[in-house]
Structure 1
């Protein structure tokens, strides 16, 4: 937030530093990603304080000579926030209760969840309360719902601007970022794997909030109750890669019986669902059969082979829970043949190896979907076994040499951008500049596509006493060459801008190989009351390819 200063125009010297930390030529300044379970999309329903909205929205007791400002200018929302109309039809401007006295819908932008007692759900946008005849403009933005140790609070950016006045108020700008606005008497959290909902009642203004408001509202004043509901980031699905190993594969006595140990890994325990045929309950996973036998050359169920192609000499059944317990309980005669398919996709089974009656086919350990489930080619595996006197024939098929190509990108110059000295206009300071040339090379024969995005954080003065949000920076991307396309232009704004992240350049999947040069014209726009000084920030570029 800005400190108080006169409205005399001053030049603000602004610098922009590009973060240039290379990660294998693929990503620079890779931003933190949402962890599994963290809040994503959702809405915070809140209105700050109903009586304050009515007071400002109706311009109660507006003082001359300024008087009441027009409807529509009293309370405004900052995108992406919206008024919570809730189906209410538009209200005429000459009514005593205009639409701008309504509460707000604030989109959820992120946060973190450790448990129902420790979480944070963040939102974007906010509201501006303008009452010039009473000498204040209050801005509340970026409100977060915080629960720590089971205790709830509301945290947000609060700015209170008091101009020169004859009402006895000290002119200046008060408040700051991440102010604890309210304490919550009763907080209710509903937490599932897919969503988080937090409701708070008995919300009271804190001492810090009252001080920023210059005691227009006193500490303990009631703020509006709130509800926030957000989706949660899904955990990354495990990658299942079924494999089996056999403790011994050759030299078996054709006249005897020997036991081998089969170890399986990477089998999806949730696959192979029963379709109504016993013994596994309908809809439950059936696991896999682990068998020794002399199977036909075409034996796989996925290839249409009938069960007669798979004459079994010895067999175990790897079942996940709860199917393992259900089958063993309902069909006790099956229990000796059952082994557990663990949640991590592993199992261990013992099989007896002995010569079979048939004279054709290949001896081996075979694995395939069990219990009448549909064929699953990914879980059809085979390890050949041989008896003493058999002749093993081996061959190695080399990989066909293929140039895999490569994806790389470089940033020209020193990795820094100077926007020079901002120029004062009628409504704002403006500074312009340009990104250094970014060269992208993609020689992969079947490119999956790539993109480069950028985002900015806050800019801070050299002495750390002042700052402004990264949303004040915008850009107009451009590219050369036909391989890729430029992202959309983003204008600087009070919120949004490059703080929300934007695409610089991209190439869709299947793009032709080649090189492209990307860049962007940068524009910074600042309020005229920005404190003078040299500022710097970070523009983070991220490449995914």
Structure 2
């Protein structure tokens, strides 16, 4: 069983008991049936096809059963979710999942069809996979269609069952008619097979989903035949080449002549990726952007010391970022894509034209710059085996090396990365000052930002050089971001360029440049904290501010001298350090940005005002999301240390912004670097019903 479907036997038993009570009212089977939608028959002004034909594109749409999906998705106690990936698509509230056709034939004259479809589908409830299947095949013979799958696991059977008939459907006469190169068919409701109903699905006091409660949603088949590559517009697939130390590879379709002035939807697929383990899932970000030095296609890699930042100021920059999570992650179903057990993932990305909004501000002109899809570790994690790149070519660029549209010549350009071994860096040993101080921790320090929020720290003077804990109190902080309660504020210890009025993220500041902060420790949340907005759940285990924006917490400070998350040498005797608050999950929050100085000397006058030395291998980075990577406490610090942090790129609002967030279990301070997304459904405890 996958890690994210781990059993909770106690809840299952509770569910079975509760279900017996809830089931009775839902066993009525009235209601209208789904109307048939057939392709126009021959003779109605369209050209009919009567010979066996192979579809050039198309989809099968099926959601198993609406009542089950609604039950799992809309009732918190089910801890439920529904997801489709590996080429299939589904979003909460969709009427069905969509599975792309991958092969087969349709013979209208014989009334037969044998079709295969890509994608994987999973329905989760109470920590269990109710149905988790892949490799769909539709067989039609006369008036009957059967849908066969490879069942990865079910509620009752946790071992794989290949070639399982999951449902059957009645096909009306003429249902396979192909007219004008298209076949469109919607059946009536189907029926679960006896095996699925009685052996695989939950049973509450008997086979809950056996006849007469064995109905399934109808299927909708939409196929096209005889399509050719368009004479103009986006076309083809661009495939990147795996780097020498990884098997990870990205393909993008369409990858050529992407519309420079209008929206193009790209299908982005990854293969050969490492999903990690149940104890340490490996999640990635995927973004469209450009390298600063195109002649060195491996220089951007974070594992080789590359940095991200504004265009021209770092090794690479990107936007349109999406979160792809490991199938081991508990909340993988809410990500934009899922890395399955085979290391494969897919997602769709809308590109607005040649000008791609950069996460770091401004736009990336993908006609002037050579753009492509990047993948790299999410939340600040650095994992070389999941770094990949595939070029994407826009209309208006030199097309002389693009493949011919008719497929009779031309070869796509191939990115051949050189073999580059990551640098071996020994982190410097940071030795705190020695000798006894002539004072003990005392006093307090506070500041008020322009929005009226007050950040107070106590004690704030003569702090201990190691393992000092201070009490941090916030008063009058924003309780939402433009009305959205997703997120909150991060609480960090570090240095701020107080001479720069625009040091904060909302004013264009970036970590490593206008402010920098200490790495977190292990466990996550040791030296970096989060305060939740009222109603937010992404900072599980962290304090929540009250309705007036007031909060307090105990904040450990590891040392007075340290190497920051952005590789900066910080000495809090020579420069002014303090407590920093900024918006959580990459969401700029002007009203929640503050810096309150603290001192390891007796007073401010005894502390220097130097700035951190220039350098640090990561450069200015606005999205240094935190992910502990193991090892001693605290996390590795130094010139080659992973860029960790709390300000990931959840820089979107509304529904799209809520799509890619990672729960606290994956990481503490950045539930999504860009992702820009969030957990839409928090799964809870208990069980019930005959949906």
Using the size of structure 1 for normalisation, the TM-score is: 0.33
Greater gyration radius: 1
Greater percentage in strand: 1
